[in-house]
Copies of this chain bind each other. A is one copy, B any other.
Amino acid sequence: MPEQTKIQLDESEMPTRWYNLIPDLPEPPPPVLHPGTHEPVGPDDLAPLFPMDLILQEVSGERFIDIPETVQEIYRLWRPSPLYRARRLEKALDTPARIYYKYEGGSPAGSHKPNTAVAQAYYNAQAGVTKLTTETGAGQWGSALAFACAQFGLECEVWQVRASYDQKPYRRMMMETFGATIHPSPSEVTEAGRTILAEDPDSPGSLGIAISEAVEMAAGDEQTKYALGSVLNHVLLHQTVIGEEALLQMERAGETPDLLVGCTGGGSNFGGLCFPFIREKMAGKMAPEIRAVEPAACPTLTKGVYAYDFGDAIGMTPLMKMHTLGHDFVPDPIHAGGLRYHGMAPLISHVYELGLLEAEAVGQTACFEAGLQFARTEGIVPAPEPTHALAVAIEEAQACAESGEEKVILTALCGHGHFDLAAYDRYLSGEMENYAYPEAKVAEALSRIPAVG
């Protein structure tokens, strides 16, 4: 009997409920505060931007929330996603460790992002919304939302950071192929954009500016809402399909993980994989170490403070208690664009404070070294983001080669790197930067976070 490489679930085994970690935690996360009054925000405060079903998920106390049939139907285009045993990588490392990876790159956008994009588009369509706006950097999230909107006949309007719009046209083309309209940000379409352009007609843009533009458009039209691809509770909730499937697949493989390792930017991929395992751990059914890996250039959990801060760079959003490097901190231009966020999902931050997970920061070149080894052995070129988790998984497996320990490692391979090959090219040519922790810049940004309570 040959050794199995993939653990595939049948479509009938796909989760039918999302898992909400909050009610299982020993204490609830701190409330989100209004930026003006510093009082907790209520559902009505969020209603101009999000449909009520998503707002209620954001604050839900239910442990499980049913996934609508229509969302399940679309999930089945790529779910259940495969769990791989990395046999060829293990062999190359000559390690007794057993490495598993849960691969989300087979989705329409090539990452985990459609898991929430489809859900968000569904609830908006149900609420009679006709258009969604959003921001995107390199374009991972924008292409997920573009695909999702196409499924429900919603218009999709995306503000893409100008520098990425100009330098990486493939993601823009993918968004347009799925039917979305893309504006380079700053744009002439919004007041926010025009203001920036008046000051600097050549502005390369930033995620903060793009958020402002997308939010402005949504707030100004009854039929238009805004969608966010990470950070918020309901986004992490939708991503728990990853972890629920992985739990079942590990069981099917006859394995109990000793270590879960995932990359963290906003936190949705990491939370999606880990939350169901944290539930099992709290219930005493397993005892895996749970480790978040972040870039040395943007080390929110390992170097940030746990404080109330804005979600955007400009300071328009409600205040969230989270690990932050300061809302206007601009990280060095690492290739893992999805990890260049100044904060961390409030729920991940809270779980970290509760001592339910660990964190570690890794430099860029070590990540690409791991990505290259993974590509050559396993045949999948990973996106720069999950190479952070791979670097740690490989390091751990190497330690097992020394110690003889048969550690079971489970990692989240949240997307492919087909649109990131220029970064691999740079690494191969020996020109890649290995940005260190920008201590002074962080200290400066932290001096500007708002004083709350």
Contact = CB atoms under 8 A, between A and B. Distances in A.
Which secondary structure dominates where chain A touches chain B? helix
Interface stretch (A176-184, A193-201, A303-311): A176-184
Interface string A398-427: 000000000000000000001101101100
Interface in A1-23: 1-6, 8, 10-12
Contacts of A169: 421-422, 425
B5 A177 contact: no
Interface string A419-447: 10110110010000000000000000000
B106 A372 contact: no
Nearest to A422: B173
Contact of A106 (B106, B151, B173, B176): B106
A177 B428 contact: yes
B4 A177 contact: no
A449 interface: no
A147 interface: yes
Contacts of A1: 12
A312 to B, nearest CB: 29
A1 B106 CA distance: 24
A76 interface: yes
A176 B88 CA distance: 19
Given A110-B418, A178-B376, A422-B173, A72 B2 contact: yes
A108 interface: yes
A114 B380 CA distance: 13
A177 B6 contact: no
A113 to B, nearest CB: 12
B108 A176 contact: no
**How big is chain A's contact interface, by range?**
35 or more
A352 interface: no
A56 to B, nearest CB: 25
Interface string A256-284: 00000000000000000000000000000
B381 A174 contact: yes
B11 A69 contact: no
Given A177-B421, A372-B177, A381-B177, A8 B5 contact: no
A425 B173 contact: yes
Contacts of A110: 418
Interface in A41-56: none
Contacts of A422: 169-170, 173
Contacts of A8: 8, 10
Interface string A159-197: 000000000011001101111000000000000000000
Contact of A6 (B6, B69, B76): B76
Contacts of A424: 173, 176-177
A147 B379 contact: yes
A73 interface: yes
A381 B179 CA distance: 12
Contacts of A10: 8
Question: Which are the 4 A-B pairs with shortest beta-carbon distances?
Answer: A108-B379, A173-B421, A5-B76, A418-B418
7 contacts: A5-B76, A114-B379, A150-B377, A170-B421, A173-B422, A174-B421, A177-B424
Given A6-B11, A77-B88, A418-B418, 12 more contacts: A1-B12, A2-B73, A4-B11, A5-B73, A73-B87, A170-B170, A173-B421, A173-B424, A173-B425, A176-B424, A177-B376, A177-B428
